[in-house]
Amino acid sequence: MSINIAIDGPSGAGKSTIAKMLAKKMEYVYVDTGALYRSVALYMLRNNVDINNDRAVGEELPKVDVRLTYNNGTQQVILCGENVSDSIRTPEVSMGASRVSAIPAVRQFLFDLQRNIAKENNIIMDGRDIGTVVLPNADVKIFLTASAEERASRRFRELSEKGDPSTYEEVLADINKRDYNDTHRDVAPLKKADDAAEVDTTSLTLEQSVEAIYKVINDRLSQKESVPAEEKPKEKSSLALKRESLDFSNVKPVTNPKPYSKIRAFGYLILRVFVTFCFKIAFNLKVYGKENVPKTGSNIFASCHRSNLDPIFIAINARVPNSYMAKDELFHCNKFFVWLIKYMGAFPVVRGSGDGGVISTSIQKLEEGRNLVIFPEGTRSKDGKLGRGKTGVALIAALAQVPVIPAAISFKGEKLKFRSKVIVTYGKPISPEELKIEGSDTRSLKKIKSVIMDGIAELVNENVNKL
Ligand code: DC
């Protein structure tokens, strides 16, 4: 089996220079993962893709053909057939890489590539999330740091030698900005793995840094050799690793939500009375289980999905505004419409960009005192039968630890018609204790999901008898 050494740390800590020297000394393959993020940024910049638009970047990713090759042991980066090893080193690309690396779809896109290289070779891989996400089972993990000023002077010297006109102040400002971006992003932020050895190179020369890290590597590898095989941790599945690449370590349960503003709640009451009135005219609406709807906010409503009006059917009985996920496309329509859906609590889900941002936004909405409406099936059921639920609802419930209220919306036929009989039923709130939240691993999430889906199924069956 190959040996994997992970080196993480902020920009300019000397990771690549040190890792290259160590790889040579140890005859390992050196993998600079920053170059991959830089190549994605270069592609987007060259093709005039707005790197601040996650969706636009996500849509272009399938066209990005990036590969690493080795020439006399030196890594070469090939982007769509062109060797871009030098072109990716400009300050503009550095800043672009820092931006695109915060996009979940970009991280997932590069994930398998990095893992596959590590599977086949003895490697020293450097980056930001190698020890925490890409290779959580790496044999040795190093977290390399140095003060921002020291890193800026090193980078400044490097750039000046290449004839780059940037001043020291500009380089320092750049380093500080990239540090901020890299440590504050939602997905896989830069942080030290719990089992990484930290090495601060502020006052060390290059040779001293290499020696210090070489010693750590040797110590750790010889310690590992003396551990019996059965005590060594098992390789995690690629699926589990992908889920872990969404870092939820800073997502806390919703314990102290803000009470919803009384003034806004009053405005919402008026809107609710008006919408209920309109809906009662448009449909033959029957609501059951109103007593199960809590008077305060910060609950999850998990409902079956039958029509585009479902968020409103669920909302008209809640005293506190709800929030719900909506297709990103809806947020690029007419300004008034966008204002209205945002006021009604909708927030965008960008297709193909992973779940990280959506989960954090969902939790944030619960913390703001709103309820969160989730349709676990994802798509509408045409015949009223309950489809399979997705795991997202369980993950949010496990992380937020708030009550989940199952709900069912039922009507006959495929589409809602004027004066259709519509039945909305709310079930008893399922407390976090009843959900038996054990963790956010696949098995625990499946169990949570089935408790929620069983709750909805029961209500769907009850409704069928009343239609
Ligand atoms: O190491 P570098 O400066 O070449 O990295 C360029 C950018 O890519 C940096 O701002 C952070 C990002 N990056 C990342 O997010 N994860 C990695 N594994 C490597 C780099």
For residue 289, give every residue at least 6 positions away whose Cβ sits within 8 Å of its Cβ, in sequence order, or none: 425, 426, 427, 428, 459
Q: Is the CB of 128 under 6 A from ligand 1?
A: yes
Q: What is the pLDDT, as a whole number, of residue 356?
A: 56
CA end-to-end distance (rounded Å), the chain: 62
Q: Is the CB of 389 under 6 A from ligand 1?
A: no
The Cα 51–Cα 45 span in angstroms is: 8
Q: What is the pLDDT, as a whole number, of residue 392?
A: 85
The overall pTM is greater than 0.85:
no
| C-alpha distances out from residue 50 to 60, 181, 363, 416, 421, Å | 11, 17, 28, 40, 47
Query: Looking at 189-198, 226-235, 305-314, 371-380, which range is the least confident one?
Result: 226-235
Which segment, 140-144, 230-234, 239-243, is predicted with the most confidence on average?
Answer: 140-144
If you average pLDDT over every residue of the chain, what do you get? 86
Write out 333-355 in H/E/C secondary structure.
Answer: CCHHHHHHHHHCCEEEECCCCCC
The Cα 306–Cα 304 span in angstroms is: 7
Q: Whose CA is nearest to atom 1 of ligand 1?
A: 34
Mutate which of 11, 151, 190 for ligand 1? The one with the most ligand atoms within 8 Å of its CB, which is 11
| C-alpha distances out from residue 22 to 17, 61, 212, 303, 407, Å | 9, 33, 11, 55, 59
Q: What is the pLDDT, as a whole number, of residue 255?
A: 65
Q: Which sequence spans correspond to the domains of the chain? A: 4-235, 244-466
- Residue 10 Cα to ligand 1 midpoint, Å, equals 8
The Cα 160–Cα 176 span in angstroms is: 19
What is the Cβ-side half-sphere exposure of residue 401, based on CA atoms within 13 angstroms? Answer: 13
- Residue 104 Cα to ligand 1 midpoint, Å, equals 14
DSSP 214: H
Q: Is the pLDDT confidence value at 256 over 70?
A: no
- Residue 130 Cα to ligand 1 midpoint, Å, equals 10
Q: Is the CB of 33 under 6 A from ligand 1?
A: yes
- Mean per-residue pLDDT for 339-352? 74
**pLDDT bracket for residue 252 (50, 70, 90):** low
Of 242 and 112, which is predicted with more confidence? 112
- Mean per-residue pLDDT for 183-194? 83
- Tokens 């409503």 belong to 301
Q: Whose CA is nearest to atom 14 of ligand 1?
A: 128
Q: Is the CB of 34 under 6 A from ligand 1?
A: yes
Count, residues in the chain: 467
The Cα 456–Cα 98 span in angstroms is: 43
Q: Are 283 and 352 in contact (CB under 8 A)?
A: no
Nearest CA among 5, 22, 25 for reference residue 14: 22
Q: Is the CB of 178 under 6 A from ligand 1?
A: yes
Token pair of 38, please? 């830089």
For residue 250, give every residue at least 6 positions away whose Cβ sits within 8 Å of its Cβ, in sequence order, or none: none
Token pair of 413, please? 């036929």
Cβ-based neighbour number of residue 230 at 10 Å: 5
Q: Is the pLDDT confidence value at 230 over 80?
A: no
Q: What is the pLDDT, as a whole number, of residue 127?
A: 94
Overall fold of domain 4-235: Rossmann fold (3.40.50)
Q: Is the CB of 12 under 6 A from ligand 1?
A: no
Q: Are 354 and 105 in contact (CB under 8 A)?
A: yes
Token pair of 20, please? 């290259």
Q: What is the pLDDT, as a whole number, of residue 226?
A: 64
Q: Is the pLDDT confidence value at 245 over 50?
A: no
Q: Is the CB of 127 under 6 A from ligand 1?
A: yes
**pLDDT bracket for residue 46 (50, 70, 90):** very high
Q: Is the pLDDT confidence value at 250 over 80?
A: no
Measured from the Cα of 102, ligand 1's closest atom is 15
- Mean per-residue pLDDT for 413-433? 94
- Mean per-residue pLDDT for 310-334? 84
Q: What is the pLDDT, as a whole number, of residue 253?
A: 66
Q: Whose CA is nearest to atom 15 of ligand 1?
A: 101
Share of the chain above pLDDT 70, in %: 90
Q: What is the pLDDT, as a whole number, of residue 184?
A: 85
Q: Whose CA is nearest to atom 17 of ligand 1?
A: 127
Token pair of 277, please? 């009135």
Q: Whose CA is nearest to atom 11 of ligand 1?
A: 98
- Mean per-residue pLDDT for 348-371? 72
The Cα 8–Cα 197 span in angstroms is: 10
The Cα 428–Cα 311 span in angstroms is: 19
Element (H, E) at 221: helix 206-225
Q: Is the pLDDT confidence value at 357 over 80?
A: no
Share of the chain above pLDDT 90, in %: 51
Q: Under CATH, domain 244-466 is a member of which superfamily? A: Glycerol-3-phosphate (1)-acyltransferase (3.40.1130.10)
Of 436 and 79, which is predicted with more confidence? 79
Buried b (16+ CB within 10 A) or exposed e, 332-369: eeeeeeeeebeebbbbbbbeebbbbbbbbbbbebbbbb
Measured from the Cα of 98, ligand 1's closest atom is 10
- Mean per-residue pLDDT for 441-461? 91
Q: What is the pLDDT, as a whole number, of residue 228?
A: 56
Q: Is the pLDDT confidence value at 73 over 90?
A: no
Of 263 and 110, which is predicted with more confidence? 110
**pLDDT bracket for residue 150 (50, 70, 90):** very high
Q: What is the pLDDT, as a whole number, of residue 238?
A: 39
Sheet of 123-127, strand order = 29-32, 123-127, 4-8, 140-145, 197-200
DSSP 344-390: TTEEEE-TTS-SHHHHHHHHHHHHTT-EEEE-TTSS--SSS---PPP
